[in-house]
Amino acid sequence: MKQLHHLLLYVVFVVSCSNHNQFISNSGTIVKNAMVSSAHPLASATGLGIMKNGGNAIDAAIATHFALTVVYPQAGNIGGGGFAVIRMNDGTINSLDFREKAPALAHRDMYLSAEGQLNDLQSTHGHMASGVPGSVDGMFTLHQKYGTLPMSELIDPSIEMARRGYVLTPLAAELLNTKQEEFQTYNRWSTPYHSDQNWQAGDTITQPDLAQTLEHIQSNGRDGFYEGIVADQIVAEIKSGNGLISLADLKNYQSVWRKPITGNYRGHQIISMAPPSSGGIALIQLLRGTEGYPIADWGHNSFKTIHLMAELERRVYADRATYLGDPDFIDVPIDKLLDSVYNQKRYIDISFDKATPSVLVSSGKISPSESPETTHISVVDANGNAVAITTTLNSSFGNKVMVKGAGFFLNNEMDDFSSKPGSPNQFGLIGGEANAIAPHKRMLSSMTPTIVTYKDKLKMVVGTPGGSTIITSVYQTLLNVIDHAMGMQEAVNAKRVHHQWYPDEIRVETDALNENVQNDLEKLGHRLRITDKIGRMDCILVLPDGRLEGGADPRGDNTAIGY
C-alpha cells in the first residue's frame, strides 16, 4: 500500500494549500484508464490508489465509501445506508439496496401525539430518528459478489486516516462551525467535532474511536459492526435517548439485490435504482416526458425548457407520493408507472400558455394490481466496469448523535417515512400510505445512482446528494450531456432548477435564469424561489475516443481523479 500512502500525502498537501472553490472550470479531469469521483479529494485518492494496486471499480468504491466515513462525516457513513448500481464490462447489470430499515418496535403513529399532531423534531433529531444502518452490510455484500482485493486492504487507508487525522477544507470547517450547538444538544460527551473555538481550514481532526470501530469491522467482517462490541455500543447509545434499535435489529439486517430500473432516452439506455428508491422510476418518467420536445433547439435553461421541466416534475412527484414505497411491503406498480402510454396520458394536459397549479395536480390513475445530506461515488476501472453508489445519513450529520466510544454518527432516516401521510417531511416532500411507518420496512428514498450506456457501450456514471433535489439534478445533468451537448464538467457546473409538486414553486439556483426567463415564467403563474446550491454531482463521462472525463461539483469539495 506504499503507493496509496504517497498518493494520500500528496492530496493532503493539495487540500491544505488550496480552496477547491476558488475557480470553476468547464474542463473536467481527463484520463485514459480509470477514475473516481467523490465528495472529498482524500476519498477519491483512496479509491484511485486501490485501482492502481490491482482492485476493480467495486473495490475502489468500497474503499472510497469507508474513506468518506472518516473525512466527510456529514454524509459519508457506517451509520446510514444507500444504494449501488453496477454495470460490469460484459454488459451485466445489477443493483443493491442497503437502505436503512425501521426497527422492530417502530409503528405507524410513533411520531404523533395523542391528538394526532406530528412531532417532526423526533423524526429528525435524536435517538428516535434513527433507522437500522445498512452501509456496512452493503459494502460486504458488494464485496462478496464483485470484490477482488481483500476487504482488509480496502479498509486500511480509512483506519490510517482516522488515526493520523485529516485536514479540514474551508467548506468543512465552515459546516462544522454551524453545527456546534446541535452537537452539544444531542450528545452526552464531547465528540471529535466539538470545539470551543471556530474550526479553521487547515485544522486536523483525529478520530481514534472511529479507527477502532473500523478495525473491529476489518477483523471481524460484517459481524464486527452488527454484533459484538460495536453493536453493544450502538444499542447502549440508542437506549440512552429512548431510541428503538435493538441488538436483534442489527443482527437481522440484510441488504437486498434488486433488478435495476431501466429505460431509454434518445437512444441511450438508462440504468438506475429500483424502489425503495424513487429515483429510477421518477427519472425515467421525466425523460419519457421530455423526449417528445425539442429542448436542444429551445436551449439550456430557456423559458420553454424550464417550464416543461417544472410541469413534468410536479406530476412525477405527485406519482411518487402516491405509489412508491418499500416493494417488500407494498405492490409498487413499476411497469405501469414506466409505461409509455401511461406517461403520454399523464403529460397531455401540459400547456405552454400557463403553469398548472399543484393543487390541480394529483397522481395519475393506475388501475390496482395490488438530505439534504447524502454523498455519491462514481467509479470506472481500466476494464470498463462501472459502479454508482449513493449513501446517506439523511440530514447533515444525520440525527446529530455520535455513538459514544464508536466515533460515528447515526442516521435520521425515519423522517423519510410518511410519519403522517399527507404531511411534508423535512424536504417538503408529501408522502402517502405507501410509505407509512411499519416494523422492518425500508423508507422511501430519492437517491438516484445511475449508469448510462449508448450503443451497448458505457457512457456515463452519475449521481448526487441533495434530498428531494437528487432526482431533478441527475435528470438535468443527463439532459445537459445528451440534449445540450455539454462535456461532463460543464454539465455538472451548469446551474439547476427544481420543482417537486409541493411546495408549488420552482427552486432556482442563483444566476441560473436571466431576467427575461424569470419574468416569462412568472407571467405563466410560476412562483420562483432563489436558492444558493442544488446538488453536488459526482460524474464520469466516457469520451468518443474512450478516455474518461470526470465531473466533480464545484459546489463542494468534490474531486475527480484518475490515471
At position 265, the amino acid (one-letter code) is Y
3-state secondary structure at position 195: coil
24 touches 104 (CB < 8 A): no
Annotation marks residue 374 as catalytic: yes
What is the distance between the alpha carbons of residues 464 and 82, in angstroms, rounded to a whole number?
12
Measure the CA dihedral 114/115/121/123, to 10°.
60
Phi and psi (nearest 5°) for 539? -140, 160
Instruction: Tell me which of 64, 290, 374, 464 is the catalytic residue.
Output: 374
Query: Which residues of 402-555 form beta strands (DSSP E)?
Result: 450-454, 457-462, 497-498, 506-509, 528-531, 538-542, 548-552
474542463: which residue's cell? 27
Cell of 249: 435489529
If we measure between CA atoms, which residue out of 549, 335, 555 comes closest to residue 462? 549
3-state secondary structure at position 271: strand
Helices and strands (DSSP H and E) totals, the chain: 20, 19
What is the 3-state secondary structure of 453-486? EECCEEEEEECCCCHHHHHHHHHHHHHHHHCCCC
Cα 110 → chain centroid: 26
What is the distance between the alpha carbons of residues 64 and 84, in angstroms, rounded to a whole number?
13
Chain length of the chain = 563
What Cα–Cα distance (Å) separates residue 548 from each residue in 29, 171, 479, 561?
Answer: 8, 27, 19, 10
Beta strands 204-205 and 548-552, pairing class: unpaired
Q: Starting from the edge strand earliest in sequence, which strands make up the sheet with 81-87, in order?
A: 256-258, 93-98, 81-87, 386-394, 373-380, 35-38, 559-562
Point out the residues that are catalytic. 374
